A = this chain, B = another copy of it.
Amino acid sequence: MRVAILAHEQFPGRAKTAVGVLRYGTDDVVAVLDRERAGTAVGDHLDDIDAEIPVVASAADAPDFDALYIGIAPIGGGFDASWRPDVRTAIERGADVVSGLHYFLSDDQEFTSLADEYGVELRDVRQPPADLTVADGIARDLDAEIVLTVGTDCSTGKMTTTLELVEAAREAGLDAGFVPTGQTGIMIAGDGIPIDRTISDFTAGAAERLVATAAEDHDYLFVEGQGSILHPAYSPVTCGLLHGTQPDWLVLCHEAGRKRVHGYEDFAIPEPSAVADQYLSLAEPVAPTTLLGGALNTSHLDGGAAETAIDDYADELGVPVVDPVRQSAAPIVEQL
Contacts and interface: CB of A to CB of B under 8 A. Distances in A.
A239 B286 CA distance: 15
A197 interface: yes
A200 B193 CA distance: 13
A233 interface: yes
A270 B285 CA distance: 7
A137 B233 contact: yes
B239 A267 contact: no
A93 to B, nearest CB: 34
Contacts of A269: 285
Contacts of A137: 232-233, 264, 266-267
Nearest to A274: B285
A46 to B, nearest CB: 30
A196 B200 contact: yes
Q: For this complex, into which size category does the number of interface residues on chain A fall?
A: 35 or more
Interface of A: 134-137, 195-201, 203-205, 229-237, 239-240, 243-244, 246, 264, 266-270, 278, 281-282, 285-286
B236 A204 contact: yes
Integer count of this chain's copies in the complex? 2
A269 B284 CA distance: 11
Given A232-B243, A232-B286, A237 B278 contact: no
Which residue among A234, A264, A278 has the maximum number of chain B CB atoms within 10 Å of its CB?
Answer: A234
25 contacts: A135-B232, A135-B233, A137-B264, A195-B200, A197-B200, A200-B237, A201-B234, A204-B233, A204-B234, A204-B235, A204-B236, A229-B239, A231-B286, A232-B244, A233-B243, A236-B237, A236-B239, A236-B243, A267-B286, A268-B285, A269-B285, A278-B282, A278-B285, A281-B281, A282-B282
Question: Lowest 3 A-B CB distances belong to which pairs?
Answer: A137-B232, A236-B236, A236-B240
A237 B204 CA distance: 10
A229 B264 CA distance: 23
A246 B235 CA distance: 13
A9 to B, nearest CB: 26
A233 B245 CA distance: 11
B282 A229 contact: yes
Contacts of A197: 199-201
Contacts of A199: 196-200
A195 to B, nearest CB: 7
Nearest to A266: B137
A193 to B, nearest CB: 11
A266 B137 CA distance: 9
Contact of A267 (B229, B268, B282, B285): B285
A265 to B, nearest CB: 10
Which residue among A195, A200, A233, A281 has the maximum number of chain B CB atoms within 10 Å of its CB?
Answer: A200
Contacts of A270: 285
A211 to B, nearest CB: 13
Given A232-B246, A232-B286, A235-B239, 18 more contacts: A134-B233, A135-B233, A137-B266, A197-B199, A197-B201, A200-B200, A204-B236, A230-B282, A231-B243, A232-B243, A232-B244, A233-B243, A233-B244, A267-B285, A268-B285, A278-B285, A281-B281, A282-B282
